[in-house]
């Protein structure tokens, strides 16, 4: 599943680079507050955590022995999978339950991990 999600993410990188290069070049971007056009453009973009950053979150959860995680910005769930796998390892080792709560602003994105497993 991660391979598929990262593949979809990679397929969007050129469009992302082009969009933000164009907007920055035109001087119409406010990085502190993205406008409606930028939000619309990003509405179907995964913008997934890079593998090394996702792995860092995974390791951090293990180090903290986290069994309850709230994720702000789930997108299609790349980071959620990493968090859930770490929470599962910690929970199984401790003999208890664990939970990862994902929060996503864009309804179409939120629908993707709700359909798991594909």
Of the candidate residues 67, 69, 75, 90, the single one contacting ligand SAM (CB under 6 A): 75
Give the residue, chosen from 58, 67, 69, 79, that forms a contact with ligand SAM under the rule CB under 6 A: 79
Q: Where are the beta strands (DSSP E) in the chain?
A: 68-72, 99-103
- Closest to ligand SAM by CB, 64 or 93: 64
CB of 72 to ligand SAM, least distance (A): 6
Q: Is 112 in the site for ligand SAM (CB under 6 A)?
A: no
Q: What sections of 43-106 are H helices per DSSP?
A: 51-64, 78-94
Q: Interface residues with ligand SAM (CB under 6 A)?
A: 46-49, 72-76, 78-79, 103-106, 109
């Amino acid at each position: 599943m991660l391979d598929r999600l990262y593949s979809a993410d990679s397929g969007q990188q050129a469009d992302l680079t082009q969009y933000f290069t164009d907007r920055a070049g035109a001087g119409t971007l406010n990085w502190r507050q993205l406008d409606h056009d930028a939000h619309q453009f990003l509405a179907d973009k995964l913008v997934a955590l890079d593998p090394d950053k996702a792995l860092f979150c995974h390791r951090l959860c293990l180090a903290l022995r986290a069994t309850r995680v709230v994720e702000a910005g789930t997108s299609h769930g790349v980071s959620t999978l990493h968090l859930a796998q770490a929470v599962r390892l910690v929970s199984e080792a401790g003999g208890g339950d664990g939970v990862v709560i994902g929060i996503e602003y864009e309804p179409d994105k939120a629908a993707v991990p709700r359909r798991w497993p594909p």
